[in-house]
Amino acid sequence: MGVVGRRFMGNFLNALFVIKHRGGQLWAVFNCSLTLTPHLFSALYPVESDIVSSFKATTGSRALCQLLKEYMGHRDGIWDLSVTRTQPVVLGTASAVNSIKFHPTEQMALTASGDQTAHIWRYMVQLPAPQPPPDVSAPCDDDQDSSDREEGEVDGEGPCEVPTVRVATATLKSHQGVVIAADWLVGGRQVVTASWDRAANLYEVETSELVHTLTGHDQELTHCCTHPTQRLVVTSSRDTTFRLWDFRDPSIHSVNVFQGHTDTVTSAVFTVGDNVVSGSDDRTVKVWDLKNMRSPIATIRTDSAVNRISVSANQRIIALPHDNRQVRLFDMSGVRLARLPRSNRMGHRRMVCCTAWNEENQSCNLFTCGFDRQAIGWNINIPALLQEKAVVTTEGTSQVDRVNEASLMSHD
């Protein structure tokens, strides 16, 4: 069973924006919610890139994928996450809401909620100036042995004033069911929302006006995604299909239906090129060519349901989050590149809900989140992955039929 059907229906919203200085590193924390609606999301941004890995690198694919940071604090599972495309880079995580997406150019966030609405939030990230190092030579009359301190007491500055975002810039209504996902159209002047009422809505950002209602799915929608450079929208549904909506011609809004899966389509996303990648509860991921979508050009077969996938813009690597706590990486031709390391003390301990690439930071360039209430930042050594893939291809061990399920079981 995919992410849909396991959403938390909150009944409160509490907004918070924080920037803290901890242990020599700066973290920008953005929590946005409101007491009147069920929205809660947070964002964290590690300013420094030289974060020490929490485990020793080993040989093979584990040496290519290193865990850098675990983000804790949510009281419920994290369903979705997103990374800004502008500086400073902010990571947004959605817990009591169903999705979060950042505006392509401005400091604005779009969230989708179980209260049948979507909200647009405007925020401002202002990183504080670096603090001078403490004067260790100065005598201190308040020296205290660490053994005498109360449990949980740590060095650091006391509580600081926290800017709070309490009111959304806009509230988008009209749905008759849970809003499960939302995204910005290219340019950021319009947004699209997907709902359990089996419809997707197109809104004007400036006026919050409903422009179009996109109907046709037979069951609840699970996800929606917009093309990065064109006015195209793809919606996925529990009816085992995903639909491509074309708004490039203002006078004609065409739609194409694609039936490539046998179970719920949990997500379908665009790549920078002319491809769509879809994931499903039927344990497959399919790669489609926008120019000819009669049949997929690649099929990835796995051993677990696939949730909200993401594709790196530069190297076009697909990150698959699974119900069985695993995260796997594939290229666009379906060749498996790596599996992110996981053990009882490292990695996700429950279902992984979503992945998001951050190619602006070469150190922490992939984020994952899950039902274990944490988000994780990873360093993926992409050049080494691609080099290893080239060696495998040269030796003839990669298969044209993509991934062998039995092989996955034996490796994992």
Q: What is the pLDDT of residues 112-157, one digit of tens each?
A: 999 999 999 998 887 766 666 665 454 434 434 433 444 333 333 3
Contact between 172 and 193 under an 8 Å Cβ cutoff? The reply is yes
**What's the pLDDT at 273?**
82
Contact (CB, 8 A) for 326 and 311: no
Q: Is the pLDDT of residue 208 over 50?
A: yes
**Residue 85: inside a domain, yes or no?**
no
Given this model, what pLDDT does residue 272 score? 86
**Does residue 160 sit within a domain?**
no
Q: For 275-313, how does the pLDDT look when each residue is reduced to its tens digit (9 = 90+)?
A: 999 999 999 999 999 888 889 999 999 999 999 999 998
Predicted confidence (pLDDT) per residue in 72-110, tens digit:
889 999 999 999 988 888 899 999 899 999 999 999 999
Cβ 342 vs Cβ 325: under 8 Å? yes
pLDDT at position 36 over 50: no
Domain with residue 381: its CATH number is: 2.130.10.10
Q: Are the beta carbons of 131 and 115 closer than 8 angstroms?
A: no
| Total domains in the fold of the chain | 1
Residue 411 above 50 pLDDT? Answer: no
Q: Which helix (H) or strand (E) holds 298?
A: strand 298-301
Is position 201 within any domain? Answer: yes
E-state strands within 53-148: 65-71, 80-83, 91-94, 99-102, 108-112, 118-122
Domain membership flag for residue 207: yes
- Residues near 363 by beta carbon (within 8 Å), at least 6 away in sequence: 49, 50, 51, 68, 379
pTM recorded for the entire structure: 0.77
Residue 7 inside a domain? The answer is: no
Range of the structural domain that residue 355 is part of:
51-80+172-411
Is 197 inside a domain boundary? yes
Q: How many CB atoms lie within 10 A of CB 8?
A: 15
Mean residue pLDDT of the chain comes to 78
Whether residue 248 is predicted with pLDDT greater than 50 in this model: the reply is yes
Instruction: Return the percentage of the chain with pLDDT > 70, whole number.
Output: 70
pLDDT in tens, 383-402: 887 777 666 555 544 443 44
Q: Give the DSSP letter of residue 382.
A: H
pLDDT of residue 33 exceeding 80: no
Residue 82: CA atoms inside 13 Å, Cβ hemisphere, count? 26
Task: State the DSSP code for 149.
Answer: S
Q: What percent of the residues of the chain are helix, what percent strand, and what percent coil, each to the nearest 5? A: 5, 40, 50
Q: Rounded mean pLDDT of 25-52?
A: 36
Evaluate if residue 185 carries a pLDDT over 60: yes
- Tokens 């992955």 correspond to 385
pLDDT of residue 393: 55
Question: Residue 164: its pLDDT value, please?
Answer: 67
2-6, 197-201, 250-254, 373-377: segment of lowest average pLDDT = 2-6
Give the integer Cα–Cα distance in Å for 404 and 150. 55
> Above 80 in pLDDT, residue 244?
yes
Of residues 202, 267, 208, 210, the one with CA closest to residue 232: 202
- Is 348 domain-assigned? yes
Closest C-alpha to 274, from 330, 228, 221: 228
Inside any domain, residue 354: yes
- What pLDDT shows up at residue 362? 81
What pLDDT was estimated at residue 167? 86
280 within 8 A of 239, measured Cβ to Cβ? no
Nearest Cα neighbor of 66 from 74, 56, 76, 75 is 56
User: pLDDT class for 18, splitting at 50, 70, 90?
Assistant: very low
Give the residue with greater pLDDT, 134 vs 44: 134
